[in-house]
């Protein structure tokens, strides 16, 4: 890399407040901040016991919810820079599918409620480990039926 191409030698972009090689600062510093200060205000739903939409006020106690909400937060931080269709893409391709899974009465918040709080009643998916070496060479292409 020549001295001209080295990131330290890039000119500072006054309009953006950073060098071209620098990532823009994040609006939200954590998924918790994103959920509390953005998502919970944007997605307003009736999530009481008489609703077909469920939510757990202690969402961070659900691994699936944390994974989905973290992915949504990171995607939002990326798509917000596209002033034309970025947030539309974020809603259609990221937020709406993830929130539908989280709000689903059969989803990770199935036994939780706003009134009664978190209920840790769902167990991990049952598994049986495959025999040793079964997937050691995926190029062979011989898989048991």
42-62 residue pLDDT tens = 999 988 777 799 999 999 999
How far apart, in whole angstroms, are the C-alpha atoms of residue 57 and residue 49?
13
CA dihedral sign of residues 59, 62, 68, 73: positive
117: its two tokens = 């709080």
* pLDDT digit string, tens, across residues 104-121: 999 999 999 998 899 999
């Amino acid at each position: 890399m020549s001295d001209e191409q080295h990131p330290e030698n890039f000119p500072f972009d006054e309009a953006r407040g950073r060098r071209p090689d620098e990532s823009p600062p994040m609006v939200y510093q954590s998924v918790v901040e994103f959920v509390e200060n953005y998502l919970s205000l944007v997605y307003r739903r009736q999530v009481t016991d008489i609703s077909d939409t469920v939510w757990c006020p202690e969402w961070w106690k659900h691994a699936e919810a944390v994974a989905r909400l973290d992915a949504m937060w990171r995607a939002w931080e990326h798509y917000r820079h596209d002033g034309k269709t970025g947030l539309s893409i974020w809603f259609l391709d990221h937020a709406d599918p993830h929130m539908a899974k989280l709000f689903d009465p059969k989803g990770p918040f199935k036994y939780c409620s706003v009134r009664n709080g978190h209920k840790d009643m769902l167990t991990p998916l049952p598994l049986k480990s495959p025999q040793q070496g079964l997937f050691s060479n995926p190029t062979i292409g011989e898989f048991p039926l």
